[in-house]
Amino acid sequence: MPIGDNLPTQPERSFLNFFEPPPELIEPAVRACRLFNTVLDNIFYDVPTLAIQLAEKDAPMRARGEKPPSRIVQLDAVSDPEGSLLLIDANTAPYVHVYTDVQLFLTSPYPETRAVEIATITGVGSSALGSAALAWDISLALKKPVLAIVPGYGMADVILQALGGWFGFGLYDFLHAKSLFQNSLANVAPQAASIGRQLSASTPDAKTLHGAPVFRRGSGSSDVLHALLLYRETPFRLLVGHSKGALQIGNAVRSIPPERTRDLHVVTLGCPIATDIDGVAFYQYLGLFDALGQLNMWGHWPDAWTPTWHTTNPLLPPAMAAGPYTKNAFPTDARAR
């Protein structure tokens, strides 16, 4: 399967473009923040296992003198502020397929894009590396492909993180706060507001303001997942969210017609969410030592208290076993297929 690609769309010209700083001055700062969040993802996700196993799987190609496929562990990829869809299959080469356009993914002729039944959204840094590591864990456990939604990282995320949103995303409405910042930026600096938003801008129902993408469901990840749930020919059977990713899943699923969410299973790790969605089965795990997750419960109790903290990285115990927890929630009939 080739790598999906799309050309970045440019915001429409308006008087606002004459007063805002050029994107080439802003993007390095956004990349630096993205790279910092990638470092955080090395703490909260099993990135070492991903890197080791990808290197092992690429070893035969290197031995033959062939160049392995481009990998998300490279520096230019982990600092990229733009989002992507990573189709991860830990059992089938080339193991990682990259799409940077939602519409291209939805219309792809390749059967793998239609067959995938599991999607994940990470929290914390939400980088390509952390997203791939969580999806890899789940793909290994279930022996199935997993679609990882990598959120874009833009100026609204930088502002929110500077205000402490990473540490206390439940202390206020995280999703609506991000939407407010994104809308405000689009009003005063549309070029800057477009950085890191190419993926959400490529959804069939994308909304723009002065040419800059704005969120319809609180965040870019929610917009992307909403579009996939609504327009995919094959419905997802399982969604997995860790940390803030659980909030983004809840926001996306809430506005989907019931016929598209029938028999859908949702697993949350480290962030319980509201379960008042008809037809959706929730499996929610929260660590006994997870102070961040407990801070953001806000009355939403988990189904199981685990003797863990916020990480899913086994090198930093006691870690949440993302793969086994997800396997327990996956429908039995889907496992057999």
Cα–Cα distances (Å) from 81 to 74, 138, 178, 182, 190, in that order, read 14, 25, 16, 15, 16
Show the 3-state SS of 5-66: CCCCCCCCCCHHHHCCCCHHHHHHHHHHHHHHHHHHHHHHCCHHHHHHHHHHHHHHHHHCCC
pLDDT tens-place string over residues 102-147: 999 999 999 999 999 999 999 866 788 889 999 999 999 999 999 9
283: β partners: 267
Residue with tokens 């067959």: 115
| 284, HSE (Cβ side, Cα atoms, 13 Å) | 22
Give the residue among 226, 191, 229 at the shortest CA–CA distance from 210: 191
213: β partners: 208
Show the 3-state SS of 101-143: CHHHHHCCCCHHHHHCCEEEECCCCCCHHHHHHHHHHHHHHHC
d(CA 94, CA 103): 22
Give residue 161's pLDDT band: very low, low, confident or very high (50, 70, 90): low
Domain ranges, ordered by start, for the chain: 29-331
Q: Cα-flanking dihedrals φ and ψ of residue 231, to 5°?
A: -110, -10
Percent helix, strand and coil across the chain, each to the nearest 5: 45, 15, 40
Asked if residue 337 has pLDDT above 60, the reply is no
pLDDT tens-place string over residues 233-246: 888 999 999 988 99
Instruction: Please tell me whether the peptide bond between 94 and the residue prior to it is cis, using omega within 30 degrees of 0.
Output: yes
Residue with tokens 């399982």: 238
pLDDT tens-place string over residues 78-96: 677 788 999 999 998 889 9
